[in-house]
Chain A
Amino acid sequence: MLRLLSIALLLAIWWTAALFVDGAKLPSPPVVLHVIIAEAASGALFLHLGATLARVALAFVLAMSLGSAIGYLMGRVKLADRLGDPWLILLLNLPALVVIVLAYIWAGLTEAAAIAAIAINKLPTAVVTLREGTRALDRSLDEMATVFAMPRWRAFRHVVLPQLAPYIAASARSGLSLVWKIVLVAELLGRPNGVGFEIGVAFQLFDTPRLLAYSLTFAAVVLVIETALVQPFEARATRWRPRAA
């Protein structure tokens, strides 16, 4: 309820501001809504949103699975940590733009290049979070599993994974927000479709209603995915913990 009120307040501020500013710079909400409906009716909106979402999903899954595996390895094996750490620092501090541009130069303006570039941007944060999670694993429980001769997979699933789940959830959340931001840049620079591409077109034409139509729809989709998927997963991963008041 409070959330809806807060969204309504935002709309009110926007609408009032639109009354005082030139319509080409800040169109009023109904104008933008009109564009959204028109784009949706033509099917273009769904096409571009779908393309972007597919890229996000692929890059996210790729970065999360690879990053978690590397992070776990670096947390467990000292040698891997020593070898991997300089790479990690380099990747962490490399601007997203550099990775995207290099990927397009080296692999051409292809779908694979875009997805790889987005995944590489997200990868190091997943590695760092999972490495911390692995370092924080409870050794006494590992010993318990060893003494009771639990098979490796069972020990991993029931002893290790539940301890990593909060870290995976945190990394998924922060990672998703990172991917949302980077995917548009990658599309703007080298893809013929997607929300980022449309925003690029809108920018060249100074078409503010179109720009807002696409970015707001995109933001709405992100919001829905965050509340419908990410938050329930996080709640599930930590359900055994006594509830905070």
Chain B
Amino acid sequence: MRLEVEITGKTYRSAAGGTHEVLSPLKFALQSGEVGVLIGPSGCGKSTMLRIILGLDRDFDGQVARPPEARIGMVFQEPRLLPWRSVEQNVRLAAPDVSDGKLSELFRILELEAHRSHFPGELSLGLARRVALARAFAVEPDLLVLDEPLASLDDALAGRLRDEIATLVASRPVMTLLVTHSLDDAIRLGDRLFFLSPRPARIVQEVPIPIPRAERSEVELARIRTELAALLLESK
């Protein structure tokens, strides 16, 4: 499976009547088993791009090709759980075909076992984020989209969740698109990094990371980080 994104432009009409360009022409593709990372400044149009890729926004120029049968798992910036359904119901409603075993395993990995019957209003943000992750993985997606899934979590928890995402992504072939501000998350999880410019967004740099995720040692990561810093400085 393959995701091909070719956007030639996206404008948005503000309430005041002016038109604003949100996205410049940009193009990228993603294969099964690959993690693509979109990195860019706040407000550069990343969320708009995701909405286009997910088919929530059809008012744009260009085209997005994804297999129509591709199942999508999404972790929104806010957890977007149904407050009137329990944690387990929230997952099952999005993924009705999930087996009991698979669900238990997910809840075990994400340490949600104790919260199965809780309502989202009773959860902390960190827990709610984990439920959103469980929901996205439970559908066994072909395309997994993660919109800043680790934002506003403390470092320790973010680190653990990042490892969990890596484990889950490794467990099955899936096209993953991760949006983040964190260079650290990007180089630990990504196979290909797309650096975006400020609004209207375009791809400034596309950087592949050839070393498999599992084999990236701290030394390697440090080297990649310096290389990237030099590269980004150059491109400016």
The interface of chain A, by Cβ under 8 A from chain B, is: 140-141, 143-144, 146-150, 154, 158-159, 162, 240-242
Contact A158 B85 (CB under 8 A): yes
Residues of B within 8 A of A (CB): 54-56, 71-74, 76, 78, 80, 82-85, 89, 93-96, 119, 121, 135, 139
Contacts of A144 in B (CB 8 A): 74, 76, 80, 94
A242 vs B135: C-alpha distance when bound (angstroms): 23
Kindly name the residue among B93, B119, B121 whose own CB sees the greatest number of chain A CB atoms within 10 A: B93
Q: Decide if A147 touches B74 in the complex (CB within 8 Å).
A: yes
Q: How far is the CB of B227 from chain A (nearest CB, A)?
A: 35
* A140-B78 in contact (CB<8A): yes
- CB-CB under 8 A from A148, the residues of chain B are 72-74, 94-95, 135, 139
In the complex, what distance in Å separates the CA atom of A100 from the CA atom of B73?
A: 55
Q: Is the CB of B71 within 8 A of A149?
A: yes
How near does chain B come to A106, taking the closest CB pair, in angstroms? 44
Structural contact, A149 and B85, CB atoms closer than 8 A: no
Docked pose: A162 CA to B82 CA in angstroms: 9
A residues near B89, Cβ cutoff 8 Å: 158
| Chain A residues with CB below 8 A from B55, complex form | 146-147
Q: What are 20 A-B pairs with beta-carbon distances under 8 A?
A: A140-B76, A140-B78, A144-B74, A144-B76, A144-B94, A146-B55, A147-B56, A147-B72, A148-B72, A148-B139, A149-B72, A150-B93, A150-B94, A158-B85, A158-B89, A162-B85, A240-B83, A240-B84, A240-B119, A241-B121
Residues of A close to B82: CB separation below 8 A: 141, 158-159, 162
- Our pick among B80, B95, B119, B139 for the contact of A140 (Cβ within 8 Å) is B80
Closest A residue by C-beta to B143: A147
Chain A residue contacts of B95, Cβ below 8 A: 148
- Interface pair A143/B93, CB less than 8 Å apart: no
**Complex CA–CA separation, A75 to B168 (angstroms):** 41
Q: Return the chain B residue nearest A148 by Cβ.
A: B94
Cβ-closest chain B residue relative to A158: B93
